[in-house]
Chains A and B, each alone.
Chain A
Amino acid sequence: QVHLVESGGGVVQPGGSLRLSCAISGFTLDDFAMHWVRQAPGKGLEWLAVLSHDGVTTFHADSVKGRFAISRDTSENSLFLQATALGYEDTAVYFCARDYSGNGAFDIWGQGTMVTVSS
């Protein structure tokens, strides 16, 4: 069965870092592009980053460019988001999602992991 399970969230101080993980089962990373999306409390969805199916190409939203980095480990069949220089505005639920069509159609989502930036 196809599943995505995020982990690595928690409470972090401003300026701190976290590494979010997305464990993948039921398919392999080589076959699909993968994305990270977040949702601040009470707010809408915000796209963060994409990693191409071949692991070569990445794009990041301007709001996180230079601070966040998407990556993967095919041996673990896992996706990652390294988040650094965290600010209060980064408080959100972070979702990983599979790109079904290569056109940004996210057909499989994880349940999300909560990141809270607080002093």
Chain B
Amino acid sequence: QSVLTQPPSASGTPGQRVTISCSGSHSNVGSNAVNWYQQLPGTAPRLLSFANNQRPSGVPDRFSGSKSGTSASLAISGLQSEDEGDYYCAVWDDRLNHQVFGEGTKLTVL
């Protein structure tokens, strides 16, 4: 069981906006930068957002990360069918002294 809590599933229709949450504690989300990854079926993870709200080059601006206190979120606007996959938050935990991933959220585009 991860120290980061994500909803196991999320869904939306094409064009909709979906938000995935990531809840942690003061030793992780509250103290360090949160990163988000997308993993499409059968592929390696891809960095979508880093340092809470920065977007790597090549990532569409439909994806945006944010953080407030001990919670973080990934918003996906203009949902597309190719966005179907698993989404993970990740952050360093000062108490555990290692990186932690959330358990992942499976996004379905209806």
On chain A, the residues within 8 Å of B98 by CB distance are 47, 50, 59-62
Residue picked from A59, A104, A107, most chain B C-beta under 10 Å = A104
How far, in angstroms, from A104 to B99 measured CA to CA in the complex? 7
Asked whether, in the complex, the Cβ of B44 is within 8 Å of the Cβ of A109, the reply is yes
From A44, A62, A105, give the contact of B101 (CB < 8 A).
A44
Query: B84: CB under 8 A from chain A?
Result: no
Asked whether, in the complex, the Cβ of A62 is within 8 Å of the Cβ of B99, the reply is no
How far, in angstroms, from A38 to B96 measured CA to CA in the complex? 18
Query: B68: CB under 8 A from chain A?
Result: no
From A50, A95, A104, give the contact of B35 (CB < 8 A).
A104
Please tell me the number of chain B residues within 8 Å of chain A, measured between CB atoms: 27
Please tell me the number of chain A residues within 8 Å of chain B, measured between CB atoms: 24
Interchain pairs with CB closer than 8 A, number: 73
How far, in angstroms, from A107 to B60 measured CA to CA in the complex? 15
Asked whether, in the complex, the Cβ of B50 is within 8 Å of the Cβ of A47, the reply is no
Query: A45: CB under 8 A from chain B?
Result: yes
Asked whether, in the complex, the Cβ of A103 is within 8 Å of the Cβ of B92, the reply is yes
Main secondary structure of the interface of A (DSSP, over half): strand
Q: B100's closest neighbor in chain A, by CB?
A: A47
Asked whether, in the complex, the Cβ of A104 is within 8 Å of the Cβ of B33, the reply is yes
Q: A46-B101, A47-B101, A103-B33 are in contact. List 13 more A-B contacts (CB 8 A).
A: A44-B102, A44-B103, A45-B37, A45-B39, A45-B90, A45-B101, A45-B104, A50-B98, A104-B33, A104-B91, A104-B99, A106-B45, A109-B46
Please list the residues of chain A having a beta carbon within 8 angstroms of any beta carbon in chain B: 35, 37, 44-47, 50, 59-62, 95, 97, 100-101, 103-107, 109-112
Provide 28 A-B residue pairs closer than 8 Å at the C-beta atoms, listed in order of the A residue: A44-B2, A44-B88, A44-B103, A45-B37, A45-B45, A45-B101, A45-B104, A47-B90, A47-B98, A47-B99, A95-B44, A100-B47, A100-B50, A100-B56, A103-B32, A103-B33, A103-B35, A103-B92, A104-B33, A105-B33, A105-B35, A106-B35, A107-B56, A109-B44, A109-B45, A109-B46, A111-B44, A112-B44
